[in-house]
Amino acid sequence: MAINGIETVLYGVNDVAECTRYFVDFGLPLFEQSEAHAHFRLDEGSNVIIRHIHDPLIPKSALVGTGVCETIWGVDRQSDLDRLVSNLRQSREVRVDPDGTAHCLTDDGLAVGFRLYRKLPVHSAPDPLNSPGNINRLNQQRKWKVKARPKQILHVVFQVPDFDKSWAFYRDQLGFRLSDIQKTFGIFGRAPEANDHHNIYFLNAHLPFPGLDGQVRFDHVNYGVEDLDEVMIGANHMQRQGWPKSVWGLGRHRIASSIFMYLPCPTGGQAEYGADSDYLDDSWVPRVWNPMFGFFTFVHNLAPYMMDAAPWEWDYAPGYTPEAKAKATPPPSADSPHEESSPPKGKPTAEAKPAAPAESTMAIDKA
């Protein structure tokens, strides 16, 4: 089942005009617009569609509130799309539009679709980096940009009460690959014909953080830009246009290695600028991460609950089966030049706070 990424995210919102203005400022290329909807199309051929939450084209699902009400996944061959639809019909109702797009509900009640999608090649040209003793840009200034222009939809995130159950559908029914597990927090999954670190993340809706209430809700979409400069230029432009600032500011995740900037969004949830993420293939060995340690390498606005995620907390397990763990290379030893290889003497490993529910084992055992 050759799913190659996100073809469309369909937002259901309270104010179509305001959300359209937001994404124009955010940098998405506007393709068409009416009083009832806005349609943005990115360089890779993926789509962002905005409609009112009560529009009849917004599917009914378990989603609470506004945000992405349907994720349409791209399939690169018609034969694979036909086989996928046939398999799904054995366990659920599937509706197929005249254009061939299939729609159904996942096991956790979220609306998904599947459509033939020949993803277009995306081109970027990040500026060479200079560093002490390493000159890659001589007599040449960096590019000047005035606003961001995302080229890809990299991933979508939902808050769910049972992330094991949500992940199992994608793994067993859609053939998604496990990327990494963030203990007690959630699971990262990759579409089988994509190389992004993850295309979907299921976040534990029972975590004791603002905005999480145990219900199925939209969290955010990650829009891919060229580099760190474009992330910050986009964020500055949004602030100049009067949109609210990010709570955390600029940061980099350890899981996926990616630069992030989460901005509040009038659609509900957040819109994320993302850059410089890891790319994977099927030789990747997933890891199990301490949640706070895995969340960030750095973040501009360090929240109090992040204080215990100290850089000496090297706490992840390579692999998710005994066989994979046996083959995987262990973390660097204390003699390694990597600064984060093992806890320094006298510094105990701290537990991430606030306390989270007991960690999942189903995702590890059955992946």
List, for residues 126-178, the tens digit of each pLDDT value: 999 999 999 999 999 999 999 999 999 999 999 999 999 999 999 999 999 99
More reliable by pLDDT, 314 or 229: 229
H, E, C per residue of the chain: CCEEEEEEEEEEECCHHHHHHHHHHHCCCEEEECCCEEEEECCCCCEEEEEECCCCCCCCCCCCCCEEEEEEEEECCHHHHHHHHHHHCCCCCCEECCCCCEEEECCCCCEEEEEECCCCCCCCCCCCCCECCECCCCCCCCCCCCCCCCCEEEEEEEEECCHHHHHHHHHHHHCCEEEEEECCCEEEEECCCCCECCCEEEEECCCCCCCCCCCCEEEEEEEECCCHHHHHHHHHHHHHCCCCCCCCCCEECCHHHCEEEEEECCCCCEEEEEECCCECCCCCCCEEECHHHHHCCEECCCCHHHCCCCCCCCCEEECCCHHHHHHCCCCCCCCCCCCCCCCCCCCCCCCCCCCCCCCCCHHHHHC
Q: Considering the entire predicted model, what is its pTM?
A: 0.86
Q: Which CATH class is domain 3-120+148-289?
A: alpha beta
As a dihedral over the C-alpha atoms of residue 234, residue 292, residue 181, residue 247, rounded to 10 degrees, the angle is -30
What's the confidence (pLDDT) of residue 320?
A: 47
Split at pLDDT 50, 70, 90, the class of 291 is confident
- What mean pLDDT do residues 28-51 have? 98
pLDDT at 179 over 90: yes
- Report the candidate in 280, 53, 249, 36 with the shortest Cα–Cα distance to residue 155: 280
What's the confidence (pLDDT) of residue 310?
A: 56
pLDDT at 362 over 60: no
Condensed to tens digits (0 to 9), the pLDDT of residues 193-238 reads 999 999 999 999 999 988 999 999 999 999 999 999 999 999 999 9
Split at pLDDT 50, 70, 90, the class of 341 is very low
Percent of all residues in the chain with a pLDDT value above 90, rounded to a whole number: 78
Specify the range with the lowest mean pLDDT, choosing from 43-47, 163-167, 222-226, 298-302: 298-302
What's the confidence (pLDDT) of residue 293?
A: 86
Split at pLDDT 50, 70, 90, the class of 360 is very low
Euclidean distance between CA atoms 159 and 162, whole angstroms: 9
Euclidean distance between CA atoms 306 and 254, whole angstroms: 14
What's the confidence (pLDDT) of residue 350?
A: 34
